[in-house]
Amino acid sequence: MENLFINIARTLSDWLLQLGLSHFWTDLVLLVVQWTAIILIITLNVIILVWLERKISGFIQQRLGPNRLGPFGCFQTIADTLKLLTKEDIIPSQTDKLIFKTAPMFFIIVSVLLYAVIPMGKDMVVVDLNVGLFYFISVGSLTTIAILMAGWSSNNKWSLLGAMRSVAQMISYEIPLAFSLLGVVMIAGSLNLSAIVAAQSNIWFIVLQPVAFVTYFIAATAELNRGPFDMPEAEQELTAGAYTEYTGMRWALFFLAEYTNLVAVSALAATLFFGGWQGPLLPSWMWIIIKTYLIMLVFMWMKWTFPRIRMDHLMSLSWKVLVPVSLINILVTGVGIEIFKGMGW
Amino acid sequence: MTSIDTEAIIDQLFKAVGGRVRTFPDPYFLGLRVDPADLPDLLRYLHDQMGMNYLANLTAADLQAEFEASYHLYAIPDNGLKIVVKTRVPRDGAELPSVFAIYPTADWQEREVFDLMGIRFSDHPNLIRVLLPEEFEGHPLRKDFKKKGAI
Amino acid sequence: MFVESEPYIINIGPQHPSTHGGMHVEALMDGEEVVNVTIHLGYVHRSVEKIAESRTYTQFIPYAARLDYMSTNLPAWGYVEAVEKLSGLTVPERAQYIRVVMGELSRIASHMMFVGSLAIDLAATTGLLYCLRDRERIMDMLEMTSGQRLLSSYMRLGGVSHDLPEEFFPAVKSFLTDVPAMLDEYNGLITGNEILQARCNGIGVLTPETALAYGVTGPNLRASGISYDLRRADPYGIYDRFDFNIPVAQKGDCMARLMVRLEEIEQSARIIKQALEQMPEGEILGKVPKVLKPEKGREVYHRTESAKGELGYYLLADGTDKPARLHVRAPSFINLMVLPIISRGSKLQDIITNIATLDPVLGESDR
């Protein structure tokens, strides 16, 4: 079980080599297969996640949630997807059509790209970049542009307001997010995610870096545009914010991308703070799934409990609380590392 | 209103506002009737001197021959006094002085009376329709209002 | 280089999730800051006052019940009392008590809806559903008494339409025992929440002077520190027989308006408890002539404390079985007037909070 996926990949590459393909082409085919698998997993995952979110919100709000289609309503999301696929694709006449159409695609592509560096299990990472964390943060912040594209091209005040909020929010929260991760990087001594996981074989970084985890978690919620920080969407004020003018599958792509981001960010949290794929008994890829889902449950729990924070409070939370706290955390971590080194650790 | 000496209040009113105010019987209110021109003076006096700081209701009725506007006044905190001030205006070019300057709450209430009954209020800062659309013709609460398909 | 900015207009409504009905709030914005707010009403205008002129006094009761659909019994009660005053009808004791019980239940329902809709306007969906869950029990009780859940035309001239059924009493008693637990839950989930406090404390401050000048009544006035409740100041029905407090808050902000309503739920529960204890046996419908024809020229302005504020009915009789003029002094309508005043200078999101805490019901405000 442990090496299930690795064995599959090895069998595939062996078979391709036997067919007489060169190593370059074999690797390329393997990469394509890996990406296809990831995209499939993401889509499947989102279907499960949407169902889960609805079930959990139902549980929190003392109602049933979807319960008609299939056992516990588990086919509900599939039916919803089909409905969204068959919906009319409305593009308002005054929009910037090119940008309007590319925005959702851009968003989903960026979200999928995040998965390249996340170790899904022992030796299971698509591209083992030595600056993996750096890559993750930089690509992750590109989603802002997608939302800005959507908001700008919609030619709608609600959309533009939502987009501007999103930009302001993302720029502000990018800083505490990156700073909070620096503590982890300093201890692990590497930006490579596999190395960071390996560094946690003795002790999880949540124990060494609790403050960093809390800052990361709050900043990530803001980065994900999830409640209580769902400013760009804010349906009570901005109707649907940046997504107001989108219908059908284009809108669903945003939805898909947001959940994809949610999984990626949760997986990163599991990787950085909860020992990644490490765990007893179960195969490594199972562990990362379990950890990721547990973190996502907390995200959902927060979303369905809290009201939305106000825009200016949101900004002051970032600049006045999270940034100083994460900076102090870096200082304390640095001093701590030196002390431990001095003690010959 | 048992504890309040109505006679004394009416005397006081007559002294202050002169003979321009007439009383009329009402089972629940102290009824005062004035000419439209004297309305602001009377309400100003009631507001400033007698503490009737709360214009609860401002409305008008179509009495066929003319319009009658009613102003129901109370005091907060309650001083036991309930006053209704009534004034009549002819149907043609019906116009009343606005009491917005005395009671800001008259703002929308006057707009509503204008909207539905068609009484203009001079000196109202923003006398436009409040419930019906801008382009609506006529004033539905007038008794002679007839519109096909309406009601 | 300086970036020049200019104010722009953003239209909240008439189709918008947070306007509580068809209301158009035209906000002049400078970035996220509100410069001015203009309200356009009339999207739910059903010409109720004109309809009344072609309906008999009895026929109008369902229309009155549909004014404030969040607390259906209160506007109907106000209307029947106005007509009773106009034509000198007497109401049997038991009916008086039943009216108090049903009216206060409606008030609780309305306030629960207020708390829930404030929660969802601040995006706390769960808060809404908790409130709706509890409000559902009141809806069930309304159904027991009248067969109708939301818009029960339960009031009648001279009494009420049905006597309270047997199953009503255990239901209302268990509801009253659970009220403290419900309020505890709201305090934990909604009022105790830091984000909600940050969004409500000091937001939309309505000073007592403005409130008085603009004729704001009901919980909104009491949240500004003025203890004025018609049930006490100008008792109608049998309210002088009950012992209850008038909750008052001093700050006049959104939080104050929320807290006043939460406390009012408690006080309403107290009134219901007393009314149930004192309720005598007997008739539920007084002697009412088949055709009610008040004398020509008789008029009445009767005001009651509805869930939103002072709900007044002005009735003018012309000797026929239909009123010559009926005017509804709608608290929602008058209270909305202060929205621009309390919203100026705040943020876009505060407009939503302010609308929610002023608690307008558009069916009543537009009539």
Residues A121 and A5 sit within 8 Å (Cβ to Cβ) = yes
Q: Which of A26, A58, A86 is the last residue of a domain?
A: A86
Of A54, A70, A86, which residue sits at a domain end?
A86
Instruction: Answer yes or no: do C50 and B151 touch at CB < 8 A.
Output: yes
Q: Which residue of B has its CA nearest to C323?
A: B61
Mean pLDDT of A224-243: 75
Q: What subunits touch chain C, counting only 3 or more CB pairs under 8 A? A: A, B
pLDDT, position B150: 52
pLDDT digit string, tens, across residues A17-68: 777 777 777 778 777 887 888 788 888 888 888 888 888 888 888 888 888 8
Query: Which residue among C212, C324, C329 sits closest to B76, beta carbon to beta carbon?
Result: C212
| Contact present, B82 and B73 (Cβ < 8 Å) | yes
State whether A113 and A28 are in the same domain.
Answer: no
Cβ–Cβ gap C324/B61 under 8 Å: yes
Cβ C10 vs Cβ C348: under 8 Å = yes
Q: Which residue of A has its CA nearest to C13?
A: A239
Lowest mean pLDDT among C14-18, C86-90, C178-182, C224-228: C14-18
* A241 and A321 part of one domain: yes
Going across the sheet that includes C310-317, the strands are: C299-305, C310-317, C323-329
Q: Using CA atoms, how far apart are residues A174 and A224, in angstroms rounded to an integer?
A: 11
Name every chain A residue with its beta carbon within 8 A of the beta carbon of C123: 227-228, 230, 234-236, 306-308
pLDDT class of C133 with cuts at 50, 70, 90: confident
Q: What is the 3-state secondary structure (H, E, C) of chain A?
A: CCCHHHHHHHHHHHHHHHCCCCHHHHHHHHHHHHHHHHHHHHHHHHHHHHHHHHHHHHHHCCCCCCCCCCHHHCCHHHHHHHHHHHCCCCCCCCCCHHHHHHHHHHHHHHHHHHHHHCCCECCECCCCCCCHHHHHHHHHCCHHHHHHHHHHHCCCHHHHHHHHHHHHHHHHHHHHHHHHHHHHHHHHCCCCHHHHHHHCCCCCHHHHCHHHHHHHHHHHHHHCCCCCCCCCCCHHHHCCHHHCCCCHHHHHHHHHHHHHHHHHHHHHHHHHHCCCCCCCCCCHHHHHHHHHHHHHHHHHHHHCCCCCCCHHHHHHHHHHHHHHHHHHHHHHHHHHHHHHHHCCC
B65 contacts: CB under 8 Å, gap ≥ 6: B91
Same domain, A195 and A337: yes
pLDDT for residue C2: 67
Q: Are residues A142 and A129 in the same domain?
A: yes
Nearest-CA distance C211 → chain B (Å): 9
Question: Is 70 exceeded by the pLDDT of residue A329?
Answer: yes
Q: What is the tens place of the pLDDT at every residue in A60-99?
A: 888 888 888 878 888 888 888 888 888 888 888 888 888 8
| B83-90 and B30-34 strand pairing | parallel
Q: Report the C-alpha gap between A198 and A216 in whole angstroms.
A: 20
pLDDT in tens, C236-248: 888 888 888 888 9
Best of C86, C240, C300, C301 to disrupt the B interface (most B CBs within 10 Å) is C301
Do C122 and A236 make contact, defined as CB atoms within 8 angstroms?
yes
**Look-up of token digits 């020049």:** C4
Task: Compare all CA atoms of chain C with the CA of A234 and give the residue at the minimum distance.
Answer: C123
Contact C198 A310 (CB under 8 A): yes
User: Touching check for A157 and chain C: CB below 8 Å?
Assistant: yes
Nearest to A310 among C130, C189, C347 (CB): C347
Residues A288 and A141 in one domain: yes
A237 and C352 in contact by Cβ < 8 A? yes
User: Can you say whether residue A190 is alpha, beta or left, with left for phi > 0 and alpha for psi between -120 and 50 degrees?
Assistant: beta
> Are residue A75 and residue A169 in the same domain, yes or no?
no
Q: Which residue has the tokens 């803001």?
A: A222
Inter-chain contact A307–C129, Cβ cutoff 8 Å?
no
CB contact under 8 A, C347 and A312: yes
Domain identity same for A265 and A290? yes
Please indicate, yes or no, whether residues A70 and A187 belong to a single structural domain of this protein. no
Q: What is the pLDDT of residue B149?
A: 58
Report H helices in chain C: 48-52, 61-65, 73-87, 93-121, 125-146, 168-186, 194-200, 208-213, 219-222, 230-233, 254-278, 331-336, 339-343, 348-358, 362-366
Summarised one tens digit per residue, pLDDT across range B92-107 is: 888 888 888 888 888 8
Q: Does the beta-carbon distance from C214 to B104 stay under 8 Å?
A: yes
Average pLDDT, chain C: 87
Search chain B and give the residue with CA nearest C43: B131
Question: CB-based contact (8 Å) between C199 and chain A?
Answer: yes
pTM for the whole thing?
A: 0.84
Residues A110 and A34 occupy one common structural domain:
no
The token pair at C142 is 């309304």
Region for C178 from its dihedrals, namely left if φ exceeds 0, alpha if ψ lies in -120 to 50, beta otherwise: alpha
CB atoms within 10 A of CB A261: 23
Pairing relation of β-strands B66-74 and B54-62?
antiparallel
Rounded distance between C-alpha atoms, residue C357 and residue A73, angstroms: 37
Verify that A41 and A162 share a domain, yes or no: no
pLDDT of residue A124 exceeding 80, the answer is no
Q: Does B108 sit within 8 Å of C334, measured CB to CB?
A: yes
In the block, tokens 């959702």 appear at A104
- Residue B45's identity, in one-letter code, is Y
Checking if the pLDDT of A113 tops 80, the result is: yes
> Among A86, A116, A141, where does a domain finish?
A86
Q: Domain B6-122 - what CATH class?
A: alpha beta
Q: Pick the closest to residue C75 from C313, C353, C275 (CA basis).
A: C313
Do the Cβ atoms of C83 and C292 come closer than 8 Å?
A: yes
Q: What pLDDT is attached to residue B2?
A: 46
A window 226-255, beta carbon within 8 A of C: 227-228, 230, 234-237, 239
State chain B's maximal CA–CA distance in angstroms: 53
Q: Is A161–C193 a contact, with Cβ atoms under 8 angstroms apart?
A: no
What tens digit of pLDDT does each residue of B42-80 get?
Answer: 888 888 877 888 888 888 888 888 888 889 888 888 777
Chain A touching partners, 3 or more CB pairs below 8 A: C
Q: Say yes or no: A146 and A62 in one domain.
A: no
Domain of residue A306, residue span: 91-342
Q: How many domains does chain A have?
A: 2
Domain positions in chain B are: 6-122
- The contacts of residue A316 (CB under 8 Å, 6+ apart) are none
